[in-house]
Amino acid sequence: MITYQAYRFALDPSPRAERALASHVGARRFAFNWGVALVKERLEARRRGEDVEVPWALPALRREWNQAKETVAPWWRENSKEAYSSGLAGLADALKNWVDSRRGQRRGRRVGFPRFKKKGRCRESVCFTTGAIRVDGKSHVVLPRIGRVRTHEPTTALLERIAAGEARILRVTVSREGGRWFVSFTCEVEREQKVPRLPGAVIGVDAGLQHLAVFSTGERVPNPQPLRKALRKLACLNRELSRRKPGSRNREETRRKLARLHSRVARIRRDAMHKLTYRLACAYGTVVVETLNAAGMLRNRRLARTVADAAMAELRRHLGYKCAWYGSRLVEAERFHPSSKTCSRCGAVKPEFPLWERVFRCDACGFVLDRDENAARNLAALVAAVAGSGPETLNARGRDVRPAARRAVPEEAGSRLRESA
């Protein structure tokens, strides 16, 4: 099975290598800003009635850059040409997203015209697709024009696959997050087909706020809530930053502390989600989740911070590729499937069930259960209800799919999986 996979390693660059990395990131930002200024200038000329070409696509932007680079950036040879191409490629993608959004061809929120990038206020990264790119030993990587850079952690996972002919490097991205440098290798990997430990088991997973996830077996995965735990320290650092003199060394040091804290919060959240999804994909043959409207939930001002801290949309995204890697099957219930309002014993559906009610009480049979566990059981029973109707309904996203009006027996809900696991 051929898949695309990224291997990410933390770098430990020397002062010389760190200056080279920062120079390449700055070169990418310079090319992006130069392209934005050029496109704006050409658009203004068109509005004045002049017949000029506006470079929208990457090939046109590259031609304009090659003609102007000796004038606008006589120092361009100090960095790899890939740094400038990376900035122009980012601009081409931004312009395409802007045009597609205006035409209604792009989903999501309206995308504005590309803006200039400011140092320290944008994502610092640069991509390489050609040149000297390789993993050099167990603790070093080689990058174009930058040379050999040491890594904080061993690169054995990728090195062994490359040596065995199971991986091929397609692209390298170097980025700086929270004062630390990272390198990410996007590879074409040949993975062997795996089988989960319980191929016939079905488990429903309900993403929540108090708990990261609640399983149909009754198990609750605790939510680390890294942002909530760091709010006090974040407030102190933000207050300290506001009192520092702009341009001073103390202000820069406080800014770095704040960036490192935000990076740590993101890493804790990412680690918890990776561990949860890896466990689900490796253990169960079928995993059932809901298609949540996370963007709509973020509009709720009272819940926005908690929803963002739980990273609810990441659960489905991680399971999307990990289930394919480890041989399990991901089933996504339709967005408006009433899993929380439906009784997992008799199938009765409540007309209203406000979010503040954390215990489900069935008005028909008197069944009482935790709200999230009841929803997870309904998700697990949904697969059992539609699995025999044909392959076209296995994803449980059709408009004719309805929850089964019967009790979800323990085998279907997965309550016996804890004994066999």
Q: How far apart are CA 138 and CA 162, in angstroms?
A: 12
**Nearest alpha-carbon partner for 100 in 113, 88, 85:** 113
Terminal-residue alpha carbon distance, the chain? 27
Active site residues: 206, 290, 372
Are residues 261 and 241 in contact, defined by beta-carbon separation less than 8 angstroms? Answer: no
And the tokens for 173?
């991205």
Are residues 216 and 377 in contact, defined by beta-carbon separation less than 8 angstroms? Answer: yes
Q: How far apart are CA 421 and CA 417, in angstroms?
A: 6
Give the residue carrying structure tokens 């929208």.
56
DSSP state of 132: S
Q: At what angle do helices 81-102 and 58-72 cross, to 10 degrees?
A: 130
| Residue type at 134 in one-letter notation | R
Q: How far apart are CA 206 and CA 212, in angstroms?
A: 9
